């Protein structure tokens, strides 16, 4: 029963695709084609992300993470968050588990959010690809607007949530293992 | 870092870790598996949802919405399409380049790319699991609004409006 509840969202989407396929076979097949593609992407990217996370969790002591990215890490923490996010491969949903471990290790909340922002939009491999597809002015302008934007969004979000809410989020990360 | 170098890097780290401490390495791998199985239901759901959305919103429809020089209305539509879809970069960039060749504005494409990367309506279930509902919604709203700033600047700089 618990398993059923955990997979509820997934089962609903399976049901939608089944209904879609019954109504319009080609539409359903198309959806499944995209699913197949995304699954492959997930299988390629996700395992190393989680293994790296496990290693990080075991080998890097909380004190070190706190020193470099925790409260009082200042500009160093911000820059590190941007670099770590930008160097990562994989879709945005891969960033959230990493953020979870960061919170467990005592990384400052604004830096966690900056990391998420960097992962979503200033990724280095993507940047090179964007440059070749859309031209240097496009990619460069976007990068230059994005970096202050990411920091601004992170700090605004920090201002908008209460201390209690933040503690709640950290506590949840702690429980997640 | 591309996927293969990431695998390479990960395997080397596992090797070093194993040489230093077998028990700790086992613990790390166990943790990795636990974290993965914890989020797997959401991952699977998101992947299915992406399939459904991309099947319904076919490229023709997307190109019609973004392809017209429709000013801010076009920007809003582009940002919405970008926000709800989840297209990998190596598909999105060439598509965007093609749309520009076919007469789409830089502003619209800027909004599309920016929202595509920063806003994740489909991935919200994963985000909520880590950050809670309120923060997830707030982050996505800000990212959405920010896409308009990106669109405006790109329109000015690249499009030379």
Report pLDDT for B128: 94
Report pLDDT for B61: 67
Task: With a threshold of 0.85, tell me whether the complex ipTM lies above it.
Answer: no
Chain A residues within an 8 Å CB radius of B49: 13
- Residue B116 buriedness (CB in 10 A; 0-12 / 13-18 / 19+): buried
Report pLDDT for A58: 87
State the pTM of this model: 0.81
Q: Is the model more confident about A89 or about B117? A: B117
Report pLDDT for B73: 83
Q: pLDDT for B8-39, tens place per residue?
A: 889 999 999 999 999 999 999 998 898 888 88
Q: pLDDT for B85-111, tens place per residue?
A: 777 676 778 778 877 776 778 888 999
> Looking at chain B, which residue has its C-alpha nearest residue A162?
B135
Helix or strand holding residue A177 (H, E): none
Using CA atoms, how far apart are residues B124 and B140, in angstroms rounded to an integer? 9
Report pLDDT for A113: 97
- Residue A6 buriedness (CB in 10 A; 0-12 / 13-18 / 19+): middle
Check CB contact under 8 Å for A97 and B29.
Answer: no
C-alpha A149 chain-centroid distance: 17
Closest CA to A122 of A155, A98, A96, A147: A147
Which among A93, A117, A177 has CB closest to B35?
A: A177
A96 touches chain B (CB under 8 A): yes
DSSP string, A88-106: --S-GGGHHHHHHHHHHTT
Nearest 5°: CA angle at A41, between A115 and B36? 65
Average pLDDT, chain B: 84
Length of chain A: 177
Closest CA to A47 of B7, B125, B123: B7
Check CB contact under 8 Å for B6 and A89.
Answer: yes
The answer for B74, left when phi > 0, alpha when psi is -120 to 50, beta otherwise, is alpha
Q: Is the model more confident about B102 or about B120? A: B120
Chain B residues within an 8 Å CB radius of A20: 52, 55
Low-confidence ranges of chain A (pLDDT < 70): 177
What angle in degrees, to the nearest 10, is found between the helix axes of B71-84 and B106-118? Answer: 20
User: Torsion angle of alpha carbons B150, A122, A38, B9, nearest 10°?
Assistant: 180
Check CB contact under 8 Å for B118 and A121.
Answer: yes
Is it the case that residue B67 has pLDDT exceeding 70? Answer: no
Is it the case that residue B60 has pLDDT exceeding 80? Answer: no
pLDDT average, residue stretch B4-10: 84
């Amino acid at each position: 029963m618990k398993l059923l509840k955990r997979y509820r969202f997934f089962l609903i989407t399976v049901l939608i695709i089944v209904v879609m396929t019954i109504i319009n076979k080609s539409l359903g097949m198309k959806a499944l084609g995209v699913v197949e593609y995304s699954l492959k992407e997930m299988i390629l990217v996700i395992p190393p992300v989680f293994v790296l996370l496990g290693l990080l969790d075991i080998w890097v002591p909380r004190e070190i993470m706190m020193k470099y990215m925790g409260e009082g890490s200042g500009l160093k923490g911000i820059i590190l968050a941007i670099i770590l996010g930008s160097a990562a491969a994989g879709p945005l949903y891969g960033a959230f588990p990493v953020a979870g471990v960061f919170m467990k290790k005592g990384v400052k909340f604004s830096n966690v959010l900056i990391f998420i922002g960097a992962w979503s939009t200033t990724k280095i491999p993507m940047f090179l690809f964007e440059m070749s597809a859309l031209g240097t002015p496009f990619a460069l302008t976007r990068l230059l607007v994005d970096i202050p934007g990411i920091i601004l969004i992170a700090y605004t979000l920090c201002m908008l949530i209460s201390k209690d809410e933040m503690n709640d989020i950290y506590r949840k990360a702690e429980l997640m293992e | 870092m591309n996927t293969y170098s990431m695998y390479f890097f990960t395997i080397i780290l596992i090797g070093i870790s194993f040489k230093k401490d077998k028990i700790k390495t086992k613990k790390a791998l166990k943790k990795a598996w636990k974290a993965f199985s914890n989020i797997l239901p959401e991952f699977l759901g998101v992947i299915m949802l992406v399939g459904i959305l991309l099947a319904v919103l076919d490229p023709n429809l997307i190109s019609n919405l973004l392809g017209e020089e429709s000013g801010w209305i076009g920007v809003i539509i582009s940002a919405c399409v970008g926000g709800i879809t989840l297209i990998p970069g190596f598909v999105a960039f060439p598509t965007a380049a093609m749309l520009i060749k076919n007469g789409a504005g830089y502003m619209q494409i800027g909004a599309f790319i920016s929202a595509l990367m920063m806003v994740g309506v489909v991935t919200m279930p994963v985000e909520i699991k880590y950050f809670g509902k309120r923060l997830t919604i707030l982050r996505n709203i800000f990212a959405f609004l920010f896409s308009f700033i990106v669109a405006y600047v790109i329109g000015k700089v690249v499009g030379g409006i």
